[in-house]
Structure 1
Amino acid sequence: MLGAFRSAARTPDLRRKVLVTLGLLTLFRFGATLPAPGVDFAAVRTCNELNSGGDSAGIYQLIDLFSGGSMLQLSVFAVGIMPYITASIVTQLLTVVIPRFEELRREGLSGQAKLTQYTRYLAMALALLQSATLVALAARGQLLRGCPEGIFADRSLFGMITAVLVMTGGAALVMWFGELITERGAGNGMSLLILAGIVSQLVGQGRSLLENQGSIVFAAVCCAMGAMVVGVIFIEQAQRRIPVQYAKRVVGRKQYGGTSTYLPFKVNQAGVIPVIFASSLLSLPRMLTEFTQDRSGLFQQVIQRYVGNPNHPVHIAGYFALIVFFSYFYVSITVDPRERAAEMKKFGGFIPGHRPGRPTAAYLGYVLNRITLPGSLYLGAVVVLPSLLLGGASGSTTALALGGTSALIMVSVALDTVKQLESQVLNRNYEGFLN
């Protein structure tokens, strides 16, 4: 990993890309600490300290994790990157349902540009909705309980609308930062913004764990995190390579094909998407009860006790089951064995022992279903085990911030960024050799 960064630092073009990425990440972190208009930052910090260690903000922990802690601080970037992520997932799912989106996906760069534009529009609508919800919950004292009066200095309608518009504009700016990093920087911009938000919280959560639980628990958590990172790296790099043979073709006086390659299927083909789906669906009942004024009903009490408590066995079991379900669901809509088989048949490729066409598609579907099972179980175990091991010791917030979701995202983004840097370095070395 360090070798890739050293090679990039020696190349002027790559060095400029790395500096652009670091500069935009710095601006992102600055906006994450800048309070929105009308927000008393000192009062918000006091409220966060009073509510730390409890489950008052449990349903918002994943969103706050992705935003780098800026959501519970009601900063300019409080909404963060989540609207764009949600819009991207929804657009990708709609390509299976809406034929027009499927046609755009197959048109190439022009169709992808239109899909990206639709994703931006949907992201802005979601950002406006999420900003309004966030301000309304904060004003009613349901986001940071116990101190609703001192959060907003201006509680008028104009002040609330101003805060909503600024947070929505901050979401648009974050989305622009991510696209700039992807186009002119190094790595995937949206993933790097999420990584920056997670890394920014590790030091504070580690210090809180050390002060509250002592050095022995802190050392045990660090060792467990190190082992988890090693396991995540091992699984994320694991592939099932299906051999593919291409027949020889003669075009004019030239001969093509006759080569052997492989079709890689990752063990964790879905990535972190099932975690986002599962957490969003599991938090929906608790979020609906937060909007009701009367929390003394039987339904509200059951939701708050079983579903809303991240350390309860019912919550953990439901979380694990939803992750497994959405892993299969996401893989089934993003990887089409029939399309892969048709592409191989078009270019004269075949899998040894299987006829091209329908038999090849059936075999690819069989392999994909078999390999998705360990991938989904691994994904659920990585996310759920920290809640079992750390939930009782350090609270749900620390378990989430130092848990498997953070390790999974950090390792995946780091590996992807290093691979992109290595490929760019390799391309430039080849260009210099050929010139």
Structure 2
Amino acid sequence: MKRLVSTLKNIWHIEDLRTRILNTLLFLLIYRIGSYIVLPGVDPSHLKQSAQEGILGLLNMFAGGSFSRASVFALGVMPYISASIVIQLLTIAVPSFQKMQKEGESGRKQINKITRILTVVITAAQAIGYLKTMVPANAVLVNSTLFTISSVLILTSGTMFVMWLGEKITDKGIGNGISIIIMVGIIARLPLSLVQELSTRLNGAGGIITFIIENVILLGIVMFAILIVQGTRKIPVQYAKRIVGDKQYGGVRQYIPLKVNAAGVMPIIFAQAIMFIPSTIGSFFPSAADSGLLAQFRDFTSVTYNASFAILIILFTFLYTAISVNPVQMADEMKRNGGFVPGVKPGRPTAEFIDQIVSRITFPGSVFLALIAILPSIAMMAGVNSGFAHFFGGTSLLITVGVVLDTLQQIESHLLMRHYDGLMKTGRIQGRTPVTSSAV
């Protein structure tokens, strides 16, 4: 406890770090206030309450509840995430985007410009669908045509404003802004979920002991998720010695850290998108949706749904890892820089060696990822409240863990740069890839 107080004092004494943390809290406060501002012309008492499960529940969780409140920030940053994923896939498949990515700062600016334009298009399309799906006619107090046009403009402007807040957090605050906004939206639902779960337990469904056990299990799952996010397999790389004049270069051993979970949360997102297809089909055929295989796929706690979900996650993990990790490129860059893996010939043998290791660590990583993804369903089957069960795993847990680790790493960097002790008693927080659009 004494060390914690000392660390907090050190953080407060660093003026730049203190300013960044206060700026971050201010921008997040603006975001949370905006999430409660309802669209003009909408009567909140007549809004649909269907955004609690399925893909609507997922979007509502990422938006911090503003999706179900018909807020001006109802769509949040999800259109930007969708646009970023599309652009990321294009940089892998389209040569012109690959060329822009390799052009440095100018190419990055061009890609960001295209991403913003695509975000506006996606937001406008999603805004129309949102108004038709989530805002019933009896909740609209003005002319329907005027309401649709004005609301599409407001929702699009709201998403762009949230993007601006995220960029300001990145520039003037601490951590990755977009990731922190998503995490805050997820965490904002935790207090209410805890109160509901505690109320359920105190009313006879297990008592306070069961509630404490659930929280201990949740803590263990969080620690397990941290191990997966931080887990790496280090490949030693030896660089040859070069003598230029009277100076020696190279001759050192470094490591290539290959992550156990290189795909991040993308496999879960892709698998969820496919698993929502049966629910969509069932909405068009209500009579067939209540029985047979279609009914099992619409039940999030069924064995059929969870087994299929886990298999899809494992497959998508291998697919996304194969796309994002290029052993041939790594081996070529290593060879150009005079590096080699001890005991392995440079060139193609090195690429095959790296590919073999990636395949070996991807399988346990994909199994662990699938287990985390189905833990909320297991928790619901065990009697946990559905709102609280979402924190036991899935996309929300991985995003929260990743963002917190990334933010703590940045705070620790500020402390160590000014010769203070880090946040950890022994060792430093392991470096990791920030949870940006490539990971959400």
- Flag whether TM exceeds 0.5 (same fold): yes
Corresponding residue of 2:235: 242
Contact 2:372 2:394 (C-alpha < 8 Å) held by counterparts? yes
Q: How far, CA to CA, are the matches of 2:150 and 2:391 in structure 1?
A: 31
Corresponding residue of 1:144: none
* 1:249-277 CA distance string (max 9 Å, x none): 12233210000111111111111222222
Alignment partner for residue 91 of structure 1, among 54, 66, 87?
87
Q: Which amino acid is the alignment partner of residue 314 of structure 2?
A: V
Contact 2:242 2:250 (C-alpha < 8 Å) held by counterparts? yes
Q: How far, CA to CA, are the matches of 1:325 and 1:5 in structure 2?
A: 44
Matched, 1:178 2:171: no
Q: How far, CA to CA, are the matches of 1:20 and 1:43 in structure 2?
A: 36
Residues 205-354 of structure 1: pairs in structure 2 closer than 5 A: 205-214=193-202, 215-287=208-280, 289-290=282-283, 292=284, 295-296=286-287, 298=288, 305-354=295-344
Corresponding residue of 2:15: 12
Bigger CA drift: 260-269 or 210-219?
210-219
| Deviation for aligned residue 1:306 | 2.5
Q: How far, CA to CA, are the matches of 2:386 and 2:306 in structure 1?
A: 12
- Number of residue-to-residue matches in the alignment: 412
**For structure 2, which runs of at least 5 residues remain unmatched after alignment?**
203-207, 421-440
Contact 1:270 1:330 (C-alpha < 8 Å) held by counterparts? yes
Q: How far, CA to CA, are the matches of 2:12 and 2:317 in structure 1?
A: 38
Contact 2:21 2:173 (C-alpha < 8 Å) held by counterparts? yes
Contact 2:301 2:380 (C-alpha < 8 Å) held by counterparts? no
Matched, 1:127 2:127: no
Q: Which amino acid is the alignment partner of residue 406 of structure 1?
A: S
Q: Which amino acid is the alignment partner of residue 160 of structure 1?
A: T
Corresponding residue of 2:434: none
Matched, 1:157 2:145: yes
Q: Describe the SS at the equivalent of 1:33.
A: coil
TM-score (normalised: structure 2): 0.87
Corresponding residue of 1:368: 358
Residues 394, 36 of structure 1: alpha-carbon distance in 2 compared, 3 angstrom cutoff: farther
Residues 6, 56 of structure 1: alpha-carbon distance in 2 compared, 3 angstrom cutoff: closer
| Deviation for aligned residue 1:285 | 4.0
Q: Which amino acid is the alignment partner of residue 279 of structure 1?
A: Q
Q: Describe the SS at the equivalent of 1:324.
A: helix
| Deviation for aligned residue 1:42 | 3.4
Contact 1:21 1:185 (C-alpha < 8 Å) held by counterparts? yes
Q: Describe the SS at the equivalent of 1:36.
A: coil
Bigger CA drift: 106-115 or 155-164?
155-164
Q: How far, CA to CA, are the matches of 1:401 and 1:150 in structure 2?
A: 34
Bigger CA drift: 14-23 or 401-410?
401-410
Residues 19, 56 of structure 1: alpha-carbon distance in 2 compared, 3 angstrom cutoff: closer
Residues 161, 213 of structure 1: alpha-carbon distance in 2 compared, 3 angstrom cutoff: farther
Residues 6, 270 of structure 1: alpha-carbon distance in 2 compared, 3 angstrom cutoff: farther
Residues 266, 5 of structure 1: alpha-carbon distance in 2 compared, 3 angstrom cutoff: farther
Alignment partner for residue 41 of structure 1, among 36, 40, 44?
44
Contact 2:221 2:392 (C-alpha < 8 Å) held by counterparts? no
Q: How far, CA to CA, are the matches of 1:126 and 1:360 in structure 2?
A: 42
Residues 403-422 of structure 1: pairs in structure 2 closer than 5 A: 403-422=393-412
Q: Describe the SS at the equivalent of 2:141.
A: coil
- Percent identity among equivalent residues? 39
Q: Which amino acid is the alignment partner of residue 26 of structure 2?
A: G
Q: How far, CA to CA, are the matches of 1:22 and 1:322 in structure 2?
A: 38
| Deviation for aligned residue 1:155 | 5.7
Q: How far, CA to CA, are the matches of 1:349 and 1:203 in structure 2?
A: 51
Matched, 1:382 2:378: no
Q: Describe the SS at the equivalent of 2:59.
A: helix
* 1:110-167 CA distance string (max 9 Å, x none): 111111111111122111111111110124xxxxxxxx45433336111122222211
| Deviation for aligned residue 1:5 | 5.5
| Greater share of helix | 1
Q: Describe the SS at the equivalent of 2:234.
A: strand
* 1:7-35 CA distance string (max 9 Å, x none): 43221112111111111111111111111
Q: How far, CA to CA, are the matches of 2:96 and 2:397 in structure 1?
A: 37
* 1:74-118 CA distance string (max 9 Å, x none): 111110111111111111111111001111111112111111111
Q: How far, CA to CA, are the matches of 1:390 and 1:239 in structure 2?
A: 32
Q: Describe the SS at the equivalent of 1:264.
A: strand
Q: How far, CA to CA, are the matches of 2:318 and 2:356 in structure 1?
A: 13
Q: How far, CA to CA, are the matches of 1:226 and 1:136 in structure 2?
A: 40
Alignment partner for residue 55 of structure 2, among 59, 79, 83?
59
Corresponding residue of 1:145: none
Q: Which amino acid is the alignment partner of residue 219 of structure 2?
A: G
Structure 1 segments, 4+ long, off by >4 Å, are: 1-6, 299-304
Q: Which amino acid is the alignment partner of residue 64 of structure 2?
A: G
Contact 1:5 1:421 (C-alpha < 8 Å) held by counterparts? no
**For structure 1, which runs of at least 5 residues remain unmatched after alignment?**
140-147, 431-435
Q: How far, CA to CA, are the matches of 2:159 and 2:152 in structure 1?
A: 11
Q: How far, CA to CA, are the matches of 1:295 and 1:390 in structure 2?
A: 25
Corresponding residue of 1:196: 184
